[in-house]
Amino acid sequence: MVFKDMFQLYKIGKELGLSRKEINSTLFFKNRYPLILGLMLIVILSVFAILFWNVALVLYAKSTEPVYPRGTLYSSITFRDFKDKK
């Protein structure tokens, strides 16, 4: 079935005046990655890279937040506060 269709495509190509090389390049895509697919791949990878970078920056900012409120150097809670608990 497939060979029959291929043969018909060759016949149509010959009737149009195409050479065998032109018919083969049309049927068997010599260029593995057409330009549009390459550009789409670049755009998709760029979007993922930007999203990854933003997530990494947010996680870094969250992990480096100060433990104590602004302006304080240390916590006012001591171990003695827990010993006096009744």
pLDDT, tens digit, for every residue of 44-74? Answer: 999 999 999 999 998 888 887 766 666 666 6
What are the CA-CA distances from residue 80 to residues 11, 68, 69 (Å)?
Answer: 96, 19, 22
How does the average pLDDT of the chain come out, rounded?
78
Assess contact for 22 and 13: CB atoms under 8 A: yes
Give the pTM.
0.41
Q: How do the domains of the chain map onto residue ranges?
A: 1-30, 33-68
